[in-house]
Copies of this chain bind each other. A is one copy, B any other.
Amino acid sequence: MSVQNTVESLAIGAKKAARKLAFESTTRKNNVLLRMAETLQEQKKFIQAENEKDLHAGREKGLSTAMLDRLALTDKVIDAMVAGLQEVVALPDPVGEVDEMIRRPNGLMVGRMRIPLGVIGMIYESRPNVTVDAAALCLKSGNAVILRGGSEAIHSNLALAKVLQDALETENIDPAAIQVIPVADREAVNVLLSLEDHLDLIIPRGGEGLIRFVAQNSRIPVLKHYKGVCHAFVDSVADFDAAAEIIMNGKTQRPGVCNALETLLVHKDIAGEFLPKIGARLIAAGVELRGCPQTKNILVDVKDAIEDDWYAEFLDLILAVRVVDDLDAAMDHIDRYGSQHTEVIVTANYANAQRFIKEVDASAVMVNASTRFSDGGQFGLGAEIGISTTKLHAYGPMGLKELTARKFIVYGDGQIRT
């Protein structure tokens, strides 16, 4: 079969499966998720044998130790997948939920009922656990999913899909509800992105290059974020200790993720006092500082920040630092260089906190907290399928609800329009 035919027949199957999955009860979906957890454990040997094929090929290809580590489906990783499935069981099912029910003057009852989106395409480069996590969230929200992981993980992903499909079959659910594209050829992605009549949403996860490729080539709506250039602004009146903790946490707790802190903005009135304190801590923690001229006047051991540094998602122990005149200058900087991901103000000034919350255009805007909280789990969504930094449909971390839509439902007793 050609790549076109292979992917298209997957998508046709997924659409058919989605139509039935949309009406499955929460109990049935939870039973499938629990069965999936059991089957993962039962078939661990098979999964690990298939994973070993990917690891072997990876070693031959000279993948880095870090990449091989990310690829390895150790006992611990599989246990984490099982725990993840059990957590999804515990999440409330958004499907069928009715809200905003109102009674119209003519007696019509009009409300909105949550329904699945249909078929979701996940395109990712990440470790194979995304295969199981994404499949679980899509299933719980009543959506079918077509998964396309990195070519270096194809045996692992196909093995995981096989195991998940076994669980679906045992519970009499169409196994086409969860499918991994079986061809490594990149052409498969192009085909998938063209199937606008069969897929309802594409969620890409990975580097900026992958995401731009998907966004530019998709005929299907895409929810995505390119990068996280997150700022913290320390205002002229602020608790310096809290500010320092928030900055250290944002920059050093996990520098390689999208909600890490990338640029520090400091009010000019307190820069002379605050920057030496935080500068010393950052440098002691191995953070390279790249500062504006005013920052360099205050701190030693600071490189010149060039224009590109203000746009940069370093994903590393590097921090850009700029002294700004006031709140407006800070917000102007964020507006110009930000990525609409996560923005923080550290302040004791009530009015400035409220202005920052209201006026900053980002998917998550925070007062006196670390950028690292910008996450579906931390925000109470229960899980996260991705993050959107565009405003249509979802803005910010996306959980189960963001995998659903709402239809209007109307209960009448014979009303006609006059």
Contact = CB atoms under 8 A, between A and B. Distances in A.
Given A405-B391, A406-B395, A407-B396, A373 B417 contact: yes
B413 A368 contact: yes
B373 A415 contact: yes
Q: Would you call the interface of chain A mostly helix, strand, loop, or mixed?
A: mixed
Contacts of A373: 108, 410, 412, 415, 417
Nearest to A380: B102
A408 B249 contact: no
Given A118-B391, A393-B393, A246 B408 contact: no
A273 interface: no
A412 B115 contact: no
A109 to B, nearest CB: 9
Contact of A200 (B372, B392, B413): B392
A21 interface: no
B115 A361 contact: yes
Interface string A356-372: 01110111111111101
Contacts of A200: 390-392
Given A113-B357, A391-B115, A408 B364 contact: yes
A367 B110 CA distance: 11
Interface residues of A, number: 63
Given A379-B110, A380-B102, A408-B379, A415 B369 contact: yes
A221 to B, nearest CB: 5
Nearest to A367: B411
A366 B115 contact: no
Interface in A227-273: 239, 242, 245-246, 248-249, 253
Contacts of A110: 379-380
Given A19-B335, A110-B379, A378-B104, A362 B407 contact: yes
Interface in A371-418: 372-374, 378-380, 390-393, 395-397, 405-417
Interface in A50-94: none
A150 interface: no
Interface of A: 19, 22-23, 96, 102, 104, 108, 110, 113, 115, 117-118, 200-201, 221, 239, 242, 245-246, 248-249, 253, 335, 353, 357-359, 361-370, 372-374, 378-380, 390-393, 395-397, 405-417
